Amino acid sequence: MKKLIAANWKMHKTYKEAVDFINDFLKEDSIDFEKKDILIYPPFLYVCEVLRLLEKTPIKVGAQNAYFEKKGAFTGEISPVMIKSCKAEYVLLGHSERRHIFKESDELIRKKVISSLEEGLRVMLCVGEALEERESSLTFKVVESQLKLALAGLKDYANMIEIAYEPVWAIGTGKSASPEDASKVHSFIKDILKDILGSNTRVLYGGSVNPKNAKEFLTQEHIDGLLVGGASLEVKSFLDIINAY
């Protein structure tokens, strides 16, 4: 199974900065695409342009979110149909910032997952516990609940789903779970996924990943890749993470 390294740019970069990043990134030839997949989640405004710039490469592009309705009077929302029309392959759903800042419920996230899968998008579902949940030894319970509420009954779509485990307390804080602890949660997630989806699904780690700790995570048995936030915003930093393993 190839490792997957994904860049989540979040609400960063102007149009010019996004184009400059891609052009500079394309000058590099150090990536071994036989060993790893690369995925970029730019802001919505740039998805079509980033795809155009990368169309002759193996690099995948996805959207950072989607609404569950296909069209309608939902000002400011983006539908899976729109994402698909740009020829994007992935959509990121259930990110901790969507759950905790924008108060997205498990029910809403499930609707988004189903709608996106119906349109043929590959879904990367994010799960993870908050600090108070971790300190109350609820990590496994929270993660299991998030997985089951979002994915139950979706076995037919098993080959279109990937998971990103991102402990909320590690997002953008500079703190990260230890590679060993993360691997244990990943192993647990894979066991749950076999029950729900009946397949061996890729599970990525996300949470203050940087060039210094990337190799430690990627060498863990149950970690199949990384979802990278701030450290993916500079070409050199992102390349160092990609080439760490």
Share of the chain above pLDDT 90, in %: 90
- The pLDDT assigned to 200 comes to 87
Active-site position among 97, 129, 166, 186:
166
Q: What is the pLDDT at residue 1?
A: 87
User: In the numeric block, which tokens belong to residue 176?
Assistant: 């990260």
Torsion sign (Cα): 101, 107, 112, 117: positive
Predicted confidence (pLDDT) per residue in 66-111, tens digit: 999 999 999 999 999 999 999 999 999 999 999 999 999 999 999 9
Residue 124: count of CB within 10 angstroms of its CB: 27
Residue 164 backbone dihedrals phi, psi, to 5 degrees: -120, 115
Flag whether pLDDT at 172 surpasses 80.
Answer: no
Mean pLDDT estimate for the chain: 95
pTM for this prediction: 0.96
- Whether 196 has a pLDDT exceeding 90, the answer reads yes
Question: 3-242 — its CATH code?
Answer: 3.20.20.70
Question: What is the pLDDT confidence band of residue 218, given thresholds at 50, 70 and 90?
Answer: very high
Active-site residue, selected from the candidate residues 49, 95, 97, 100: 95
**What confidence category does residue 199 fall into, taking pLDDT thresholds of 50, 70 and 90?**
confident
* One-letter amino acid for residue 164 of the chain: A
Q: What is the DSSP string of the chain?
A: --EEEEEE--S---HHHHHHHHHHHHT-----TTTEEEEEE--GGGHHHHHHHHTTSS-EEEES---SSSSSS-TT---HHHHHHTT--EEEES-HHHHHTS---HHHHHHHHHHHHHTTPEEEEEE---HHHHHTT-HHHHHHHHHHHHHTT-GGGGGGEEEEE--GGGTTSS----HHHHHHHHHHHHHHHHHHTSS---EEEESS--TTTHHHHHTSTT--EEEESGGGSSHHHHHHHHTT-
Whether 166 is catalytic: yes
- Mean pLDDT, range 102-123, rounded to an integer: 98
pLDDT at 78: 98
pLDDT in tens, 27-71: 998 999 999 999 999 999 999 999 999 999 999 999 999 999 999
What does the pLDDT read at residue 142? Answer: 97
- pLDDT of 176 > 90? The answer is no
